[in-house]
Structure 1
């Protein structure tokens, strides 16, 4: 490697880290709970929209529990990623780079959230078979979202503190 190019790359990396370190609450190693909660809420919003839409579509099409749940989880990932994708595209990233950033930023967070939320619904007696018009459906879903938020926030805090997950997005703000 050309030493001049290596020096330029090192200077760029230092500059990017300094700019990134200027985001209060997002410094590697010193992440606030507020920053982690904000990242988790961002993820939860996309997950909730996708999950509810998937359940509504599956119910409207008279699908069974498994295909409806698969659709709901798939849409939770789509909407979760899309929020980040649109934000980083707006910041000027090309589509290919924006996809990579969204995948790096949200995959673990969405996966944990979906695992916890759907696990709660599976564990609540009768919730899997509840209909959209049933109180049990909405209370188990919302309860699952709350518990998923509470369990995913520390995961996001840990990841952001190591420069992973949602921290990747902040390099492009």
Structure 2
């Protein structure tokens, strides 16, 4: 009787451990995607502003990275504020939860963009830029996932905000108007925006090729 009971006990613990591990994996994926969307929005906005203002590549990267941190922190702060924390406390929690993850993404993302030939200088209406950005963000996700998982296992990172997101009372006052932005919606918006940028850049390149071919044909005809 004791032996089967002990075996059942052990199996129960093993199942519980597996369930906990699965929970951490899911939380790590969600946390990484959440940070990634903020970084992507900030970087693309920074690159668009830098290009529009005619900034050098170095200053454009500085602006893009700064906005990536700003947007990443902002997206994490909104739900914490909605959960009831004051601005100072919310920022303190978010800075502790997201800084390492965002920093990892930014280092990896910019390193990959620098390694993709021509991506940094391609401009926004160029398929090389958008393809490079897609590759860079995918690699940044892979790099930041284990960081977030490691933090979650130690009760840090998004574990600091998880209970606030899921255990908060119904928001009251001005907190009712703070938007709720689910991670899947943000990811879908970023994917759609990047695919749109790629399609536009490919169409622009095709149009330029067609125009060049038409011009060359006209020159030959005139001769």
TM-score, normalisation: structure 1? 0.81
- Cα deviation digits, residues 70-126 of structure 1 (max 9, x gap): 000000000000011111000000111001011011100000000000000011111
Structure 1 runs of 4+ off > 3 angstroms? none
Q: Specify the alignment match of 1:78 in structure 2.
A: 70
Determine whether 1:170 maps to 2:162.
yes
CA–CA distance in structure 2, aligned partners of residues 90 and 116 of structure 1: 31
- Cα deviation digits, residues 39-66 of structure 1 (max 9, x gap): 0000001000000000000000011101
Q: Specify the alignment match of 2:136 in structure 1.
A: 144
Higher radius of gyration, 1 or 2: 2
Greater Cα offset, 29-38 or 105-114:
29-38
CA–CA distance in structure 2, aligned partners of residues 106 and 92 of structure 1: 19
Q: Give the structure, 1 or 2, with the largest relative contact order (CA under 8 Å, sep 6 or more).
A: 1
**Is the contact made by 1:116 and 1:144 (CA closer than 8 Å) also made in structure 2?**
yes
**Is the contact made by 1:106 and 1:166 (CA closer than 8 Å) also made in structure 2?**
yes
CA–CA distance in structure 2, aligned partners of residues 49 and 128 of structure 1: 17
Unaligned runs of 5+ in 2: 1-18, 166-223
What does 1:25-64 correspond to in 2, within 5 Å? 31-64=23-56
CA–CA distance in structure 1, aligned partners of residues 50 and 161 of structure 2: 32
CA–CA distance in structure 2, aligned partners of residues 32 and 95 of structure 1: 28
**Is the contact made by 2:24 and 2:152 (CA closer than 8 Å) also made in structure 1?**
no
Return the match for 2:95 from 88, 95, 103: 103
- TM-align CA RMSD: 1.4
**Is the contact made by 1:30 and 1:161 (CA closer than 8 Å) also made in structure 2?**
no
TM-score, normalisation: structure 2? 0.63
CA–CA distance in structure 2, aligned partners of residues 62 and 148 of structure 1: 27
CA–CA distance in structure 1, aligned partners of residues 163 and 30 of structure 2: 16
Report the 3-state secondary structure (helix = DSSP H, G, I; strand = E; otherwise coil) of the residue aligned with 1:172: helix
Shift of 1:153: 0.6
Shift of 1:32: 2.7
Report the 3-state secondary structure (helix = DSSP H, G, I; strand = E; otherwise coil) of the residue aligned with 2:134: helix
CA–CA distance in structure 2, aligned partners of residues 158 and 31 of structure 1: 13
Unaligned runs of 5+ in 1: 1-24
**Is the contact made by 2:32 and 2:145 (CA closer than 8 Å) also made in structure 1?**
yes
CA–CA distance in structure 2, aligned partners of residues 56 and 62 of structure 1: 10
